[in-house]
Amino acid sequence: MKKILAGMLFRLLKGYEIWALLALFFVVSGYFAFVEISTVNYVAVKNDLEFAFIYDGEDTVITKENAEQFCYKNSGVSARDLYRYGIETIPQESFDKINKDMDAEPVSEVKTIFRLVFRSYLVASVLMMIFIPIFFGRMFSDGTIKNMISSGFSKALIYFSSLLLTFAIDLLLILMRLVMVAVFCVCFQWQPPIYLPVLIPAFLLSVLLSFTLTSVCLGALFAGGKKTLAFVLGFVMFAARFVSVSFLGAGLLWSSMEAGVSEMDPEVKEYLKEKGANYLERKIDLSQFTEQFYIEGETVRYMFADESSYPPAVVKTILVFIYGDPYLIDSSDEYMGFDSYSMARDGLMAVNGAVNALWVVLINGVAILILNKRELHC
């Protein structure tokens, strides 16, 4: 494998593809990182990207002069409490600071830094779907792959070497993206709330997602031997992110479990009115794919019924489609409203990471089986 990788690496550095890929990546990824960070109201008004931001009607106006009051930096609130805000009971002083003094504005900073880390795979994956058919497709068309086989290297070994190289490039691009984000944070003087128990799983899941997409594209090229097939299947897989299977499944499941806010126990309402929203806690129930609500450890019936009205077999089938979606966390964050802290704490990220690892194994296993059975015509 070392000889194959050395040859591929030499060809990679000598060719134009990797340099074009890096140039495109810097431009496109840098642009999207800038756009994402500039959506933080503190960053926008502090750096004159927006003159002022009116929050909650006209009650609060964030300007360049008072922007410090509404950001996480120097707020005195820990990153852990900010991530837990609205999900777990936190010290009342921190809750009041976030909820009243800062109008919950720092919550948007949590969402932004999570998405910046987790969605690092997006630009990298799209560019890899262009790079793979061009770079590895040329190795097919000029006879390099056939010469390797004639030299005694097995098809599986060539494939694994190619896969390892693409995974290394995936990881490099994602790390470069994070470096760019850090540079923009310094330039904009934005100190995002960093809470590693959430952001490390987000980073690992981003890497696994990029491996899944890369595997589809590379597997299609080696199994089918056609650049067009690799392009098409790669981009179809990427387009699946925008037609969320998990979101559709969740919609079906939730429609059978709607209980309505009005069904909350009057005593619970009175308790929350007296004690405050800080005491209403949430947890993702993986067995039903819903959020359960708690007060002092006791379950509160709120928004969803205890179980679906569908037969158990139907519920299990829907759950298979939901959890089998490699883009589950992306959909849960964007379409379903789950918080990053809940997804990390309650195991949703771990489940999605395991599913993506399984997809990587299955896709590449099928690709190798087909590759070993077909004749290479270069």
User: Residues 345-358: pLDDT tens digits?
Assistant: 999 999 999 999 99
Query: What are the beta bridge partners of residue 291?
Result: 284
Write the DSSP symbol of residue 97. Answer: I
Q: What is the pLDDT of residue 258?
A: 64
In the chain, the largest separation of any two C-alpha atoms, in whole Å, equals 79
* Amino acid at residue number 342: S
C-alpha closest to that of 276 among 101, 71, 86: 86
pTM of the model: 0.89
Distance CA 258, CA 269 (A): 19
Structure tokens at 86: 């609205």
Q: What is the pLDDT of residue 51?
A: 55
Query: What are the beta bridge partners of residue 60?
Result: 55
Helix axes 2-14, 17-38, angle to 10 degrees: 80
Q: What are phi and psi of 109, to 5 degrees?
A: -70, -35
Helix, strand, or coil (residue 291): strand
Q: What is the pLDDT of residue 197?
A: 96
Q: What is the pLDDT of residue 81?
A: 95
Number of C-alpha atoms within 13 angstroms, CB side, residue 173? 34
Helix, strand, or coil (residue 284): strand
User: Residues 67-78: pLDDT tens digits?
Assistant: 788 889 888 999
Distance CA 9, CA 19 (A): 13
Q: Could you tell me the mean pLDDT of each successive run of 10 residues in the chain, 378 residues long? A: 80 83 90 87 76 56 79 90 94 92 89 94 92 87 82 87 93 94 92 95 96 94 88 90 86 73 64 80 89 81 68 90 92 81 95 96 94 72
> Cβ contacts of residue 313 below 8 Å, gap of 6+?
none
